[in-house]
Amino acid sequence: MEIINAFLAGLGTGVFITWFPGMLNMQVVGTALRVGKRKAYLFSAGMALIIGAQTTMAVLFAKLLTTNPSVVPAIKQWAVPLFLILALVFTWKGFRARAARRAEVVQPYKGGPFWRGMIMSSMNILNIPFVFAIAGFLMADGYLSQAFMSRLFYVPGTALGALFIFTLYGRLSGWINRNMALFTRNINFFIGGLFAFLAVVQVVQMYD
């Protein structure tokens, strides 16, 4: 029963950390609109796989994070320059895409969607302390056992929960595009802004 509870807790965690229309979800929408839903689903699978790996680091190595309190601040510190670089990259991509639309040029889709999804999800390294905090709360309140097998089954649950939300965004990409046309046309600016915002948040938390 503990294993089932852990898997269900993982599903809930995966849904919770991905349901908001953030940078990963909007990349799924953009991929579906650009190259089709099938590639968007592959892109989603790549992202979900990395979320599973990040969850593994956060949950199975929780003892390392608790006995070495300098690990989490180090992750957040490295996240600042990474987020700033990504903010500049996506802003540049936004201006490039806008110029291509005006010139009616179709930019080629380079690379496999699965690998692109893995790379994009790997950039969101803050998932590790975020999932660690959620799992810690679940363990403290008794919703997730600290036994090894329970933590092990929590990992695929989280990955599948994230995959469900990502594929849902891909499935609804047409509706999102019709009802949020201005947003989807400027998706790179939105993602760049999110990265910049995350960088500012990390700086504030570091010096608070």
**Torsion 146-147-148-152 (CA) sign:** negative
| Chain centroid, CA 41 distance in Å | 14
CB 44 within 8 A of CB 166: yes
Exposure on the CB side of residue 2, measured as CA atoms within 13 A: 12
CA distances from 76 to 13, 87, 143, 181 (A): 21, 16, 27, 34
Q: Tell me: the pLDDT tens digits for 35-83?
A: 889 999 999 999 999 999 988 888 877 656 555 666 556 656 666 776 7
CA distances from 74 to 68, 70, 202 (A): 11, 6, 11
pTM above 0.75, yes or no: no
The structure tokens 């608070």 sit at 208
CA distances from 12 to 118, 120, 165, 170 (A): 21, 22, 11, 20
Task: Look at residue 68 in the predicted model and tell me its pLDDT.
Answer: 63
Which residue type is seen at 120?
M
- From 157, 171, 155, select the one nearest 43 (Cα to Cα): 171
- From 170, 161, 186, 199, select the one nearest 40 (Cα to Cα): 170
**Torsion 128-134-138-140 (CA) sign:** positive
Q: Using CA atoms, how far apart are residues 1 and 150, in angstroms rounded to an integer? A: 9
Tens of pLDDT, residue by residue, the chain (208 residues): 788 888 999 999 899 888 877 778 888 988 898 888 999 999 999 999 999 998 888 887 765 655 566 655 665 666 677 677 767 877 776 676 666 556 554 556 667 889 999 988 887 776 777 777 777 767 766 777 778 888 889 999 999 999 999 999 999 888 877 776 666 566 667 767 777 877 787 777 767 6
Structure token pair of residue 175 = 């509706």
CA distances from 18 to 28, 45, 95, 148 (A): 12, 13, 27, 25
